[in-house]
Structure 1
Amino acid sequence: MFADLPRPTGPLPVLWDSTVTQRVGRMLDGEVRVAWFYGQPDTSTFRYRVANVVEAVNSDPDGVVGAGWFSDDDIPSVLPVVPQLDAIVLARHRYGGNVRRLAATAARAGVPLLFDTDDLVFDTAYAGLVMDSLGRDATVSLDWDVWFSYMGRLNATLGLCEGAFTTNQTLRAELGRHLPLDSVHVVPNVLNRVQQDYSRSLLEAKQSSGYRRSGPVTIGYFSGTPSHVRDFTVAAPALARLLDRDPDVAVRIAGFLDDVGPLEEFRDRIEFVPFMHYVELQHSIAEVEVNIAPLQHNAFNVCKSDLKFFEAAVVGTWTVASHTPSLDAAVTDGVTGRLARDHEWDGALAEAVDLARDTDRYAATMTAAAEHAHRTWAWDSVAASVRRALDAQLAKGSPTSPVASS
């Protein structure tokens, strides 16, 4: 494990500490004005699909877009300025009374609505698959009510929209079953400024120490949300076999996983850490030598983005991940990380442990991989994707859209 890495200083950032008035004012400063709406702010989808995007757009020195984010509760306060907007983005925002009012106001003003999603959760045809992926009991009627309600309301919101933003080409194709494909645009997940700056300091600390480590090689599983609990079973048998044959390997599990299955007999070598602030999470990832991102292979998971890889890469930590289209595109196999099919986890984990113990090779590998990640998923890079998407979408109704292309 890598030790003595810098801890966050000062209060941890809060993504929703501004007022509605402040956010409206910043948005209306733009030549092109776009409002992002999300049910209630949180540290998952809201962070990546709304807060990070708005921050990058508003900091773009080459852009003309003024952006603001708002919750469902903010909608009544924002309705008066809707006629001044050029577009509205509804990010995983469930249909309801406020959305209906917002859509009606936007329709009267000729303001287009755009949907945004980072998961395959907008089509009830996939409800059973989603429940299976999340390990829900299919005999519990209430679970069916919950997921059909959630996905059905998202589908109702999608039905109001004439375009969409999403994280990758796989989800783009799924959205293309509901919208014209040329109206669906990829706006990738990226870091935010604080997350990237702190990750840089962690990386530099590891570099300045020559990637000095001590103790057992630690493999980290950072589940993030309960939705990944079943995914752990993809790697768990291989991980148990590794622990059985190599006493100098340990495991760190962060998030919502307590049932470790075949690893139970090695529980004394597992460190459980609670769900934590996303900045503190970067520190926890930076301390381990190996990060794993196993996923079941199904239609729900193949739509997942690449964030579990780049969150680790930017702090100089090697990742072993399952194959998905996004991860296949993000990871140069064997160079910036390792991609493993279900039957390849034994070999991939053994290779990762060997790499971690070869300090010089690990340092050279991860320094190059981290620099690539800092460039590719830079906090401000998403602004260009948003400008291109808005330019393409608004041009459908306004050929003279002032959004800058790049």
Structure 2
Amino acid sequence: MKGERMEINKIAFFTKDYLTTAIEHLRVLAPLTSTGMKVKRYVFDAVFKLESIEPCDIIVIQRDFAGNYLQYEELMSFAKQHRIPVVLDLDDNLLALPLSHPDRQSLCYTESLTPLLQSMAEVDAITVTNKALQEEVKQYNDTVFVLPNYLDESIWQFKPQKTSNNNEVIKILYMGSHSHRPDLDMIANALEIILNIYPNVQFYCYGLALPKTLTQHIRAHHLPAETVEYKKFAKLFNGLDMDIAIAPLVSNTFNSYKSPLKFFEYSANAFASVFSDVEPYNSIIKHKKNGLLSKNNTLSWVENIELLINDSALREQISKQAQELIRTEYLLSKNSYKWREAFNSISRLAKDTQKNISLSLKQLKDINLQFVERSKSNEKELFNSQEQVDTLQKEYAALEKQKNTLQKEYAAIEKQKNTLQKKYVALEEQKNTLQTQIVSLEGEKSELFNRIGQLTSEINAYALSKSWRITRLFRKIKKHFQRKYHV
């Protein structure tokens, strides 16, 4: 598939997801196709066959793809056999998840950590979102390219600024997934204060559920995410009618590796926004120019949100300047060439396949700790499963006893049914006999009626005869003397 390296044109992208998520669109599909490259997307599931891979110049995988270790090994063997460079794209440092992070608490990445480490050292190159993540990743692989996230204007439409007065209903929006629970909870008190002070303010939480303290508030609303497909999400999100958006972010090393994507998406919708005064936001946002930067405490968040609530002109100005900055510097169409340059460079590199992995003691401890926690979690799940089995066995025994009782009742009912059936047969026979008798009697009755008719006709004929009329006087005289002399 590969001889002397020419300019890259065909990319094979492998994913575990059937739907095209945000990171796939933003980090691979949109930027590469924007440069004119042809990207073939493969879902590497249980039925995938390596023979179906079309000729390509580079293979791309993302994040914890290596977590499906056997499939990852198959793909890497295929790539080595055909001398195809493999690129790993990372938009987060999954090795540095803080203890408070929902994905760290759920241990959903634990089993992927060592395969991830292997892939980071084994691939030909890694692409990341910023320089901070690049420096962190370089300890595992020398070839790391910074390719920031940009706004894909082919799916995001710039909405015009809203003209409003300060007396109208003000809608505040937060947008984020379940992994941002600590970020939103950090400012829950500030949001409650704002809602209690300003009766004309409504708060909407898109995707992530409301903080517990706001679930019963009459002006706090949850908008469930309708899709994880990024193009569909962009269309739906573009249709939201809001005034202010917020992007709280807990200050920690893990979050410093993120990109200012919310700034792009909020600004495209013409939302005037407040961001935490941390990386990645404070390197792109100028306070009171294209956004507001808030310290991560309740007072600062209340004050900054109040600024936008009370000043519609400031909201309009911030929204306008944010869109101007994005149009000038952060459109994908103006920056996608960086992917072609990086991939052309990768195709010409010679990879040292014998590179050793160097882990700090802290990282090793954290990985081991997660495995211990996963083991305890598995033990707990096993214990809970055993308790469920015991409960089910007791329920089964009770059901068996109930079944036996019902079977006895059924047998008794069957016996009673058979007795009744015999009685029914006897009664049917008796009924048939009686019906036969009735038919016979009906015939006799009919004959008697016929006989009576005949006799009646004879009597009528006799009574009307001449001799009967002549002797009638003598019969009357006879009856008279019989009554008189009791003869």
TM-score with structure 1 setting the length: 0.74
Q: Which of 257, 264, 281 is the matching residue for 2:209?
A: 257
Mapping 1:1-400, distance limit 5 Å: 32-40=9-17, 41-58=19-36, 65-73=37-45, 76-77=49-50, 81=54, 84-92=55-63, 93-94=65-66, 95-121=68-94, 123=95, 126=96, 129=98, 131-134=99-102, 137=105, 143-144=106-107, 146-180=108-142, 183-196=143-156, 199-200=157-158, 203-204=159-160, 206=161, 210=163, 215-223=168-176, 225-261=177-213, 263-264=214-215, 267-277=217-227, 278-283=233-238, 286-343=240-297, 345-397=298-350
The CA deviation at 1:242 is 2.0
Q: Distance in 1 between matches of 2:136 and 2:120?
A: 12
1:132 and 1:357, CA in 2 relative to 1: closer, same or farther beyond 3 A?
Answer: closer
Q: Distance in 2 between matches of 1:212 and 1:91?
A: 46
1:368 partner letter: Q
Deviations 1:174-205 (A, max 9, x none): 2112111xx11111222334422xx22xx13x
Greater helix proportion: 2
1:186 partner letter: V
What is the aligned residue count?
337
* Preserved CA contact (<8 Å) 2:183 2:249: yes
1:101 and 1:66, CA in 2 relative to 1: closer, same or farther beyond 3 A?
Answer: same
Secondary structure in structure 2 of the residue aligned to 1:67: strand
Secondary structure in structure 2 of the residue aligned to 1:363: helix
Higher relative contact order (CA 8 A, sep 6+): 1
* Preserved CA contact (<8 Å) 2:190 2:301: no
Q: Distance in 2 between matches of 1:176 and 1:338?
A: 33
Identity between Structure 1 and Structure 2 (%): 20
Q: Distance in 2 between matches of 1:287 and 1:57?
A: 33
The CA deviation at 1:214 is 7.1
1:228 and 1:187, CA in 2 relative to 1: closer, same or farther beyond 3 A?
Answer: same
1:349 and 1:380, CA in 2 relative to 1: closer, same or farther beyond 3 A?
Answer: farther
Aligned to 2:422: none
The CA deviation at 1:289 is 1.6
Q: Distance in 2 between matches of 1:236 and 1:373?
A: 30
The CA deviation at 1:164 is 0.4
* Preserved CA contact (<8 Å) 1:252 1:271: yes
1:174 and 1:161, CA in 2 relative to 1: closer, same or farther beyond 3 A?
Answer: same
* Preserved CA contact (<8 Å) 1:242 1:350: no
Secondary structure in structure 2 of the residue aligned to 1:287: coil
1:360 partner letter: A
Q: Distance in 2 between matches of 1:368 and 1:55?
A: 29
Secondary structure in structure 1 of the residue aligned to 2:280: helix
Superposition RMSD on alpha carbons, in Å?
2.8
Secondary structure in structure 2 of the residue aligned to 1:222: strand
* Preserved CA contact (<8 Å) 1:303 1:324: no
Greater Cα shift, 93-102 or 211-220: 211-220
Structure 1 residue ranges without an equivalent (≥5): 1-28, 59-64, 138-142, 399-406
Deviations 1:199-254 (A, max 9, x none): 22xx13x46xx35787422211112x210112112211222222222222221111
2:293 partner letter: L
The CA deviation at 1:136 is 5.9
1:158 partner letter: M
* Preserved CA contact (<8 Å) 1:133 1:300: no
Larger radius of gyration: 2
Q: Distance in 2 between matches of 1:89 and 1:288?
A: 37
Q: Distance in 1 between matches of 2:262 and 2:172?
A: 14
1:332 and 1:273, CA in 2 relative to 1: closer, same or farther beyond 3 A?
Answer: same
Secondary structure in structure 2 of the residue aligned to 1:297: coil
The CA deviation at 1:47 is 2.6
Q: Distance in 2 between matches of 1:185 and 1:179?
A: 11
The CA deviation at 1:364 is 3.0
Q: Distance in 2 between matches of 1:77 and 1:135?
A: 31
